[in-house]
């Protein structure tokens, strides 16, 4: 069944390859500096490498937007995004796969009664505005630097042509890597929480996580899309908005590649964080917006008269319509899949202010007076619980988030048979961590945080440090797997 359900993710990957992935070589192909076949080969190889090696960063932010917790639901989310991107591709508009998947996830949230994390949504939507602007600024700066260098060095025409072709190929490869690293979250991010794969070790040297295995499959699907259907969109980007010279094409692709890399690099985020500098959010930005922004930037530098504003308006309207179409298709398809085909599209998450939850909230310094009237009442969805919590005055956004984590019900029972069946290597589980769990044999927990606290009491390994870092993300993933593994429905 998982093989069937993941097919929608493969379709979305194909759609991304047909649309977004073409952006990295579209200007070079449009300028007749690189053949389409050559561009497709390099693009495919480096997209797969970027997906597997650096694809994890942006997927975490996308997961916070909406935690799709059933494989059938993940199937519909990816299917809805893929359909919306395909429709725009047929219209020859370079739309945003990022916007499509965000719209589809919001459609799932509305159907399942889950809350949309507006903080994560604000980060993602903010990039839809900032991304093309940054790309345009970088493209203008690079174009000026390249033109100035050519005037100073005065290379022979044949030498300049060879250097430009090589430069376009080099930045195209870098752009393809960045695209895979940033946008693979759009293709396979919703399947990561429900992945059936186990972590494996290659020759005892390299760890190949379950997420990376998904990203490899998604990367291959993108590559197929590049080869089979991307040429038409390449021509729209490379020739449709502004006629680009080879030098301008180099500046455009370079700017696009840099922007995608900035929003996908965990190493850069860690460097900035360790030096006390503001970090760049790891979010799946729009490749189409980056390339279009860069093209417009170069066009404006040349006076703007060559820009086909009517075509640009059509592309911009596609950016607005795409998430709306994806959300509508997602909601309607979820209804049919659940009610006609009787598939579980989401796992209901209940909320209850138990005595233990109330005590935890009180210890956090949050006034519990208004919550006592909610105590011991069951709420079947996050939206219903949120309606009740919203009536309590004086709560900050952080307080409400803490209340939700405290009240979420997930009954877990630590039994010997489940401990023995827990595979080593899956989601980072080790033999030592299994010994921690054996000390909890026979215990039951109503909330995830209770199991987490019990593990922290056994070993400091499970303690989460302040601030966001790679180790926190690793431990959080391991805990999420344990919450599902030891879940005991009552």
pLDDT along the chain (490 residues), means of 10: 85 84 74 85 93 75 78 92 83 77 94 87 85 94 94 90 90 90 85 76 73 90 88 63 76 89 80 78 81 88 79 79 93 94 89 94 88 88 90 87 94 93 73 90 95 95 76 82 84
Pair type for strands 350-351 and 200-202:
unpaired
List the structure tokens of 425: 């290597």
**Cross-strand pairs, 350:** 409
- pLDDT, residue 220, reads 94
- pLDDT, residue 237, reads 57
End-to-end CA distance of the chain: give it in Å, rounded. 26
Among residues 2, 58, 51, 11, which one has the least CA distance to residue 212? 51
List the structure tokens of 321: 């319509």
Beta-carbon-side half-sphere exposure of residue 354 (alpha carbons within 13 Å)? 16
The three-point CA angle 151-153-154 to 5° equals: 65
- In angstroms, the CA 50 to CA 264 distance is 10
**Cross-strand pairs, 445:** 412
- Is residue 35 within 8 Å of residue 29, measured between CB atoms? yes
426-451 burial, b for 16+ CB within 10 Å, e for fewer?
bbbbeeebeebbeebeeeebbbbbbb
This prediction's pTM: 0.82
- In angstroms, the CA 216 to CA 200 distance is 14
- Burial label for 377, CB within 10 Å (0-12, 13-18, 19+), is exposed
- pLDDT, residue 426, reads 61
- Is residue 211 within 8 Å of residue 192, measured between CB atoms? yes
- pLDDT, residue 105, reads 93
- In angstroms, the CA 3 to CA 55 distance is 21
Among residues 26, 93, 106, 35, which one has the least CA distance to residue 329? 106
Helix (H) or strand (E) holding 109: helix 97-112
CB atoms within 10 A of CB 18: 24
- In angstroms, the CA 273 to CA 468 distance is 9
Q: Is 116 left (phi over 0), alpha (psi -120 to 50) or beta?
A: beta
């Amino acid at each position: 069944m998982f093989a069937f359900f993941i097919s929608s993710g493969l379709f979305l990957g194909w759609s991304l390859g047909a649309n977004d992935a073409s952006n990295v070589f579209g200007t070079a192909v449009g300028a007749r500096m690189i053949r389409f076949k050559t561009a497709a080969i390099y693009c495919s190889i480096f997209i797969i490498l970027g997906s597997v090696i650096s694809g994890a960063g942006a997927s975490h932010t996308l997961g916070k937007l909406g935690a799709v917790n059933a494989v059938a639901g993940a199937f519909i989310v990816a299917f809805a995004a893929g359909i919306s991107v395909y429709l725009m591709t047929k219209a020859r508009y370079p739309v945003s796969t990022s916007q499509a998947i965000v719209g589809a996830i919001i459609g799932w949230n509305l159907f399942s009664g889950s809350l949309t994390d507006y903080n994560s949504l604000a980060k993602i939507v903010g990039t839809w505005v900032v991304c093309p602007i940054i790309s345009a600024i970088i493209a203008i700066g690079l174009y000026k630097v390249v033109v100035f260098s050519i005037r100073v060095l005065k290379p022979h025409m044949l030498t300049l042509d060879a250097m430009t072709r090589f430069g376009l190929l080099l930045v195209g490869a870098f752009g393809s890597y960045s695209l895979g690293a940033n946008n693979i979250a759009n293709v396979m991010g919703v399947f990561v929480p429900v992945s059936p794969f186990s972590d494996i070790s290659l020759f005892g040297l390299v760890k190949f996580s379950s997420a990376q295995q998904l990203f490899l499959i998604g990367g291959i699907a993108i590559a197929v899309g590049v080869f089979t259907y991307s040429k038409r969109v390449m021509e729209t980007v490379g020739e449709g908005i502004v006629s680009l010279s080879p030098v301008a094409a180099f500046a455009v692709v370079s700017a696009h590649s840099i922007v995608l890399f900035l929003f996908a690099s965990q190493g850069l985020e860690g460097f900035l964080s360790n030096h006390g500098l503001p970090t760049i959010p790891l979010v799946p930005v729009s490749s189409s917006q980056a390339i279009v922004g860069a093209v417009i930037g170069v066009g404006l530098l040349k006076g703007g008269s060559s820009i086909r504003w009517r075509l640009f308006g059509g592309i911009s309207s596609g950016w607005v319509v795409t998430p709306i179409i994806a959300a509508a298709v997602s909601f309607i398809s979820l209804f049919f899949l659940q009610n006609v085909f009787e598939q579980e599209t989401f796992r209901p998450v209940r909320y209850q202010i138990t005595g233990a939850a109330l005590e935890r909230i009180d210890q956090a310094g949050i006034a519990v007076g208004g919550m006592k009237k909610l105590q011991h009442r069951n709420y079947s969805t996050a939206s219903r619980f949120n309606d009740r919590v919203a009536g309590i005055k004086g709560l900050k956004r952080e307080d409400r988030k803490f209340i939700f984590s405290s009240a979420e019900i997930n009954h877990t029972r630590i039994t010997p048979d489940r401990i023995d069946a827990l595979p080593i290597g899956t989601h980072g589980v080790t033999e030592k961590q299994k010994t921690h769990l054996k000390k909890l044999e026979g215990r039951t927990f109503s909330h995830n945080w209770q199991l987490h606290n019990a593990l922290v009491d056994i070993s400091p390994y499970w303690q989460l440090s302040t601030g966001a870092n790679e180790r926190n993300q690793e431990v959080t993933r391991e805990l999420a797997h344990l919450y599902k593994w030891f879940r005991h429905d009552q």
